[in-house]
C-alpha cells in the first residue's frame, strides 16, 4: 500500500512535465496531438504555451548564403477532463497540430531582385525598357485592343499586339514583386471531444473516442530564380473548418504507476477557398490561362497514431516513452492554377505537380525519466529522434528530422495547482531543398533549434 501510494504521488508530480515533448520537424507536424491530459486521474485541466525557435541556414544552388529562414513559432494547448462516475469520463482538448513558418532573407536565389527595372530588362531581353515604360506600353496596347478594333489593325497585328501585351503584363507582375522573399505560413487549430469508458475487473482498461473539429489556413509565396517560371507565385488559402474523429484504448496498473495508451486520429478532408496569383501563367500558356484565379482547394490533413507509455521504476522514479507515426507521404497541397500551369510541360502530364508534398512517413520516438526530489518538486529528462519526411525535401521546410534532448521541472504550488516548465534542444538533420519540379535548389547543414514550454495545471482526485 505504501509503495502504491508513493508511486501514485510520483505520477501526479510528473504528469505535467511533458511540456516540450513535441515540436516535430517532419512535414507540418507541430504539437504532436498529445492526449495525455485525458488520461490523468480525477478532475484535471491544463493550459500549455510552447515556443519554438530554430536556426536554419544554408546555401542556394549558386553558393549564395541563405540566412536563417525559420520564423519563431508558438502555439497553445488546453485540456479539461472529468469523471462522470467510476466508469465514464469526458474531456475536451484544444491544440494547434500542424503548421509552418519560414521566411527567406539575404541575397540569394529565393529573393526577387529589388531593382524593378532590372527585372523588366532581364525578362524581356530589352536593355532599354524600364518598369515605367512597361506600364505606358501596356496602356497603349490595351487601347489598341479595344473591342471593335477602332485602329483598324489587321488580324496579324491584333495577334501580335495581344502576344506583346501578355509578355509586358508578365514583366509588370514580376516588377511589382521586386525585393520580395519566399515565405510560407500554415496554421491549424483543433478541438477534440472525448468520451471514455473503463472496463475490466479493476477498471484497468479504457476505450475512448470522439469527434474532432479542425481549421486550417495557409499563405505561400515563391520568389526568386530558384523557382524558375513559378517565381512570383502566391496563394492565399482561406480558413476552412472540417471534421474527423479520434479513437483509442488505454491500460493502467496504479500499483506500479503503469499507463499505456494507443490513440488513432483520422485524416480530415478540407475544401477551402484559395486565391492564386501566377505572374507567368498567361505568358507560359500563350494567353490560355489567366494569371489570377479564385478556386476551391482540397487539403487532407493526415491521420496519425500515438503510443504513450509510463511505468514506475522505483517509488521515486518514472520511465516514459512516446512513439508517433504520421504518413506524410500521402499529404499534398495542390492549388489548381499552379497544377494546371505545370502540365504545360509534357513531363508533368497528366497529373501535374503539387505545390507541397513529402516522400516519406514520419516516425518519432522519445524516451524519458522523471524523478521526484521532494513531495512538491519533480524533474525529468528525455531524449528523442524524429525521422523527418524525406530528403531532399520541399524548400519551404528544408529539415530532415532531428535528435533532441530535454529537461523539465514541476512544482506543486498547492495540493491541486502546479506550474511546470520545460525546454528541449534540437539538432536538425541536414537536408537538401527541392522545388516541386524536383530540382535541388538549396543545401542546409549543421542547424539547430530549441523549444520552451510552460504549463499550469489543476488536478483533484
Per residue in 196-205, pLDDT (tens digit) is 999 999 999 9
- Domain interval for residue 93: 2-100+183-460
Helix H or strand E encompassing 93: strand 88-95
Residues 233 and 380 in one domain: yes
Judged against a pLDDT cut of 60, whether residue 210 lies above it is answered with yes
pTM of structure = 0.90
Q: Determine contact, residues 61/226, Cβ cutoff 8 Å.
A: yes
Residue 394 placed within a domain? yes
Pick from 439, 238, 310: which is nearest to 41 by CA? 310
- In terms of Cβ atoms closer than 10 Å to its own Cβ (0-12, 13-18, 19+), residue 150 is exposed
Which of 178, 197, 221 lies at the terminal end of a domain, its last residue?
178
Q: Specify if 342 maps to a domain.
A: yes
Best CA proximity match to 270, nearest among 244, 295, 233, 290: 244
Per residue in 48-77, pLDDT (tens digit) is 999 989 899 999 999 999 999 988 888 889
What pLDDT sits at residue 152?
A: 65
Residues 154-185: b if buried by 16+ CB within 10 A, e if exposed: eeeeeeebeebbbbbbbbbbbbebbebbbbbb
The alpha carbon of residue 431 and the mean position of all alpha carbons in its chain are separated, in whole angstroms, by: 17
Spatial separation of the C-alpha atoms in residues 76 and 47, rounded to whole Å: 7
Q: What is the pLDDT of residues 228-259, one digit of tens each?
A: 999 999 999 999 999 999 999 999 998 888 99
Residues 172 and 272 in one domain: no
**Torsion angles phi and psi, residue 19, rounded to 5:** -80, -55
Asked which of 128, 159, 178 is the last residue of a domain, the reply is 178
Q: Are residues 118 and 205 in the same domain?
A: no
Q: Are residues 40 and 189 in the same domain?
A: yes
| 24/120 same-domain check | no
230 and 369 assigned to the same domain: yes
Residue 306 and residue 375 in one domain: yes
Q: Look at residues 151, 178, 205 and tell me which one is the last residue of a structural domain.
A: 178
d(CA 237, CA 220) in angstroms, rounded, equals 9
Do 117 and 192 belong to one domain? no
Based on the fold, state whether residues 267 and 329 are members of the same structural domain.
yes
CA 15 – CA 461 distance, rounded (Å) = 13
Residues 275, 356 within the same domain: yes
Let me know if residue 106 belongs to a domain: no
Whether residue 233 contacts residue 279, with contact meaning beta carbons closer than 8 Å, is answered with yes
Same-domain status, 252 and 267: yes
Cβ atoms of 77 and 95 within 8 Å: the answer is: yes
Q: Tally the domains of the chain.
A: 2
| Same domain (yes/no): 345, 379 | yes
Amino acid at each position: 500500500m505504501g509503495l502504491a501510494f508513493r508511486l501514485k504521488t510520483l505520477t501526479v508530480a510528473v504528469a505535467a512535465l511533458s511540456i516540450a515533448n513535441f515540436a516535430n520537424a517532419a512535414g507540418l507536424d507541430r504539437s504532436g496531438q498529445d492526449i495525455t491530459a485525458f488520461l490523468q486521474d480525477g478532475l484535471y485541466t491544463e493550459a500549455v504555451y510552447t515556443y519554438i525557435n530554430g536556426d536554419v541556414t544554408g546555401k542556394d544552388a549558386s553558393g549564395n548564403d541563405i540566412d536563417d529562414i525559420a520564423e519563431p513559432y508558438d502555439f497553445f494547448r488546453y485540456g479539461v477532463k472529468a469523471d462522470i462516475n467510476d466508469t465514464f469520463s469526458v474531456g475536451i482538448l484544444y491544440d494547434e497540430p500542424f503548421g509552418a513558418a519560414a521566411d527567406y532573407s539575404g541575397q540569394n536565389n529565393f529573393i526577387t531582385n529589388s531593382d524593378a527595372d532590372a527585372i523588366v530588362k532581364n525578362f524581356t531581353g530589352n536593355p532599354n525598357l524600364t518598369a515605367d515604360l512597361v506600364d505606358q506600353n501596356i496602356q497603349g496596347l490595351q487601347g489598341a485592343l479595344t473591342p471593335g478594333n477602332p485602329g483598324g489593325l489587321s488580324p496579324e497585328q491584333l495577334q501580335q499586339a495581344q502576344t506583346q501585351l501578355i509578355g509586358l503584363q508578365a514583366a509588370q507582375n514580376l516588377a511589382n514583386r521586386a525585393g520580395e522573399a519566399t515565405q510560407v505560413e500554415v496554421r491549424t487549430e483543433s478541438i477534440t471531444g472525448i468520451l471514455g469508458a473503463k472496463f475490466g475487473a479493476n477498471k484497468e482498461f479504457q476505450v475512448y473516442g470522439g469527434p474532432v473539429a479542425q481549421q486550417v489556413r495557409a499563405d505561400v509565396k515563391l520568389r526568386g530564380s530558384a523557382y524558375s517560371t513559378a517565381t512570383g507565385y502566391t496563394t492565399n488559402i482561406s480558413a476552412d473548418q472540417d471534421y474527423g474523429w479520434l479513437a483509442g484504448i488505454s491500460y493502467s496498473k496504479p500499483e506500479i504507476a503503469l499507463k499505456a495508451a494507443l490513440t488513432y486520429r483520422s485524416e480530415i478532408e478540407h475544401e477551402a477557398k484559395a486565391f492564386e496569383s501566377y505572374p507567368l501563367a498567361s505568358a507560359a500558356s500563350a494567353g490560355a490561362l489567366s494569371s489570377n484565379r479564385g478556386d476551391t482547394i482540397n487539403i487532407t490533413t493526415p491521420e496519425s497514431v500515438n503510443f504513450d507509455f509510463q511505468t514506475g521504476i522505483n517509488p521515486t522514479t518514472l520511465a516514459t516513452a512516446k512513439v508517433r507515426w504520421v504518413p506524410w507521404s500521402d499529404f499534398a497541397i495542390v492549388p489548381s492554377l499552379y497544377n494546371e500551369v505545370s502540365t504545360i510541360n509534357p513531363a508533368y502530364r497528366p497529373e501535374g505537380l503539387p505545390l507541397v508534398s513529402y516522400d516519406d512517413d514520419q516516425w518519432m520516438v522519445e524516451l524519458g525519466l522523471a524523478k521526484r526530489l521532494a513531495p512538491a518538486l519533480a524533474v525529468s529528462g528525455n531524449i528523442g529522434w524524429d525521422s523527418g519526411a524525406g530528403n531532399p525535401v520541399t524548400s519551404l521546410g528544408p529539415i530532415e528530422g532531428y535528435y533532441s534532448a530535454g529537461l523539465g521541472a514541476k512544482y506543486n504550488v498547492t495540493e491541486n495547482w502546479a506550474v511546470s516548465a520545460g525546454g528541449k534542444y534540437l539538432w536538425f538533420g541536414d537536408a537538401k531543398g527541392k522545388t516541386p519540379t524536383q530540382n535541388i535548389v538549396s543545401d542546409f547543414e549543421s542547424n539547430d533549434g530549441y523549444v520552451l514550454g510552460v504549463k499550469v495545471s489543476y488536478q483533484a482526485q
